Amino acid sequence: MPLLARLRAASLDAKLIVGCGLMLLFSLALAVCLIGVFMKDYRRANDDLEALTYFGKVLNVANRISAERGPANSVLGEETAPDSQARRRLTQFRALSDEALDAVAPRSQGTRSGFPAGEVERVRSRLDQARETVDAAAALPKAARSGEIIQDAIRQMFDVVDISRPLITGTMAGIVAQDQSLAGQVMILQMLGDLREYAGRMGSHLATPIATRRPLSSADRDELRHTRGRLLQIWQVAEKQLELYASDAALNRALQDTGRLYFGDGLDFITELSAAGMQSGDYGVTAAQMTDRYVPTLQPLEQLRTTFLDIVSRQSRAERDAAWYWLQAVSVIIVLIVLTNLLLILLARRLVFRPLLRAREHVVALAEGREIEAAPGGFGGGEEMRELFGALDILRQRLRERRQLTARLKRQAETDGLTGLLNRRALDRIGQGDAEFADMPDEIGLILMDVDHFKAINDRHGHPAGDQVLREIAALTLETIRESDLAARYGGEEIALILPGASLETLVEIAERLRSGLERRRIEIGAGERITVTASLGVASGRRGPEAWEELLSAADGALYRAKAEGRNRVRRAADPGETVTAARVARVS
């Protein structure tokens, strides 16, 4: 039937629900779109902030390793003294480097998609090697430290920073892949980090000549000239880019301090030392003195990078907070709209449609003989409507009484009065695949149990005792089988068990458990007298259905017959008539 035709044929209540539901659905669709937009903005801004914070930590790794070279140069330029001020300072700077590495290590930072967390351990390993080289050189007497030994230690510290480049560039690539709008900011941060690194190298290039008191070689002059050119080139580009943020007072102060303290005092000091080194090996300062004077001029470079990172972090944080505010505001508005719609739907149904439609439901249900709940109070429509529902309630009560009587008669027709188990008629309906039991699997197992020498029990102790035995066996059966299994009195002293979906091994196990449980049970038959009863059991598996059921009954009955013929009080299965089933055998099967 076409949708339009089905809608026309629907009830008024259905049409009301469909109409209001469509309105609510469209509102929710719009709400989901709006929330999705603001949620995407919030997540992007939050991810940007986390990425920039992480990138700042990555840059700090290179910065701390670079700063560690200063006290290392001092230690390499002095006599061996484990307790010297330079040695203590080197220990402090190494701890700061380790702390910076720990801050970006996967165990503390977590795994970020697209970020080269595996590079951290590579940098740490290379740093440990460089430190060993520095310590080995510093352990030598100063007179035994050649320029090559000191230069090798310094170059290895340079190499650690170079090895950290993949960590920096990989992190930058991850940030740009996440949000391309951050490309310019992370490039500036990288330049500011490089600015500090090349400035530090200027001092390290002079550490070996000063420590060994030799003039600058042509290679030393080339390295100084190359590093200075690279330094000034980076500064020129970075200064130009930072003009975009000229409105920030803290950044302006950091720029002024950098120009005055480093590109003024610090670089001039390096120029003076370089000039002295070109003329002679008398620099006028030791390596430690050079470090103590030069390193403070590098602080504005670090402050410039930190200040710029604070600026971009504040921007990302402001974007995140704004997105979060709008996300919350839109969510609250949407919730109010949805609640208002739902309230209008409920009021319309309750005050307009519900009384009439409920009365119609009662009349139709009574006409069709269906059960229906009593009408609650509070319906509109005045006294007439209350009288109508009162009359309908009386009819409903009578219908329920009739159904309860019918259900009771049906239970009596399918239940054995003595044992409370299903009777033979119900068992056959199940086995033959009656539609009422369609939810049961077609594959079933069947256990037939016959009480041994039951006639002798009746003859010796009387029929009341026999009835008590059957009740006890029925109770034991219900205790033994599973919840999904069914038990029926098959006839006389025979009990049949249907086990849906059970394997033959499971059937044998349950049958043996039932047999042994009955054998151990002392049944009281009156006046304190107790007797022991045994039973023989036949087991078979098959399918439900008119023909299959008869075959299954025949197979289980044949197995039961063999159990009795072989001495009773035992279990036999149709699949293997020659097998003797014992408790130990059942335990192994299970």
Do 187 and 286 lie in a common domain?
yes
46 lies in a domain? no
Q: Is the pTM of this model over 0.85?
A: no
Q: What is the structure's pLDDT at 449?
A: 96
Using the predicted structure, report yes or no on whether residue 7 has a pLDDT greater than 50: yes
Question: What is the per-residue pLDDT across 295-335, written as a single tens digit (0 to 9) for each?
Answer: 899 999 999 999 999 998 998 899 889 888 988 888 888 88
Do 446 and 377 lie in a common domain?
no
CA 314/CA 318 separation, integer angstroms: 6
Residue of 570, 486, 561 lying closest to 535 (CA atoms): 570
Q: What is the structure's pLDDT at 581?
A: 40
Q: What is the structure's pLDDT at 6?
A: 63
Q: What is the structure's pLDDT at 170?
A: 84
Helix (H) or strand (E) holding 541: strand 535-543
CA 255/CA 39 separation, integer angstroms: 37
Six token digits for residue 72? 């290392």
429 lies in a domain? yes
Residue of 203, 221, 226, 225 lying closest to 285 (CA atoms): 203
Q: What percent of the chain has pLDDT over 90?
A: 32
Final residue belonging to a domain, choices 294, 323, 352: 323
Using the predicted structure, report yes or no on whether residue 59 has a pLDDT greater than 80: yes
DSSP code per residue over 398-413: HHHHHHHHHHHHHHHH
Q: What is the structure's pLDDT at 590?
A: 31
550 lies in a domain? yes
Do 390 and 302 lie in a common domain?
no
Q: What is the structure's pLDDT at 487?
A: 92
Among 168-172, 336-340, 422-426, 581-585, the range scoring the smallest mean pLDDT is 581-585
15 lies in a domain? no
Do 395 and 289 lie in a common domain?
no
Between the ranges 69-83, 107-121, 263-277, 571-585, where is the mean pLDDT highest?
263-277
Average pLDDT, the chain: 83
Do 584 and 495 lie in a common domain?
yes
Final residue belonging to a domain, choices 414, 439, 467: 414
Do 400 and 521 lie in a common domain?
no
**Domain count for the chain:** 3
- The count of other CB atoms within 10 Å of the CB of residue 34 is 16
The predicted model gives 141-168 an average pLDDT of 85
CA 220/CA 590 separation, integer angstroms: 85
The predicted model gives 441-459 an average pLDDT of 93
Using the predicted structure, report yes or no on whether residue 182 has a pLDDT greater than 70: yes
104 confidence band (pLDDT: 50, 70, 90)? confident
Question: What is the per-residue pLDDT across 75-98, written as a single tens digit (0 to 9) for each?
Answer: 888 777 778 888 888 899 999 989
Helices (H) and strands (E) in the chain, counts: 21, 7
Q: What is the structure's pLDDT at 579?
A: 41
Do 312 and 380 lie in a common domain?
no
45 lies in a domain? no
5 lies in a domain? no
Question: What is the per-residue pLDDT across 497-533, written as a single tens digit (0 to 9) for each?
Answer: 999 988 899 999 999 999 999 999 999 888 788 999 9
336 lies in a domain? no
Final residue belonging to a domain, choices 380, 414, 448: 414
Q: What is the structure's pLDDT at 409?
A: 43
Do 398 and 428 lie in a common domain?
no
Do 302 and 407 lie in a common domain?
no
* Domain that residue 405 falls in: 369-414
Do 391 and 431 lie in a common domain?
no
Question: What is the per-residue pLDDT across 212-270, written as a single tens digit (0 to 9) for each?
Answer: 888 998 988 999 999 999 999 999 999 899 988 888 999 999 999 999 999 999 999 99
Do 173 and 276 lie in a common domain?
yes
43 confidence band (pLDDT: 50, 70, 90)? confident
Asked if 38 contacts 84 with a C-beta cutoff of 8 angstroms, the reply is no
13 lies in a domain? no
Cα torsion 519, 524, 525, 527 to 10°: value is: 150
Do 311 and 434 lie in a common domain?
no
Asked if 149 contacts 137 with a C-beta cutoff of 8 angstroms, the reply is yes
Phi and psi torsions of 113, nearest 5°: -60, 130
The CATH code of the domain that includes 487 is 3.30.70.270
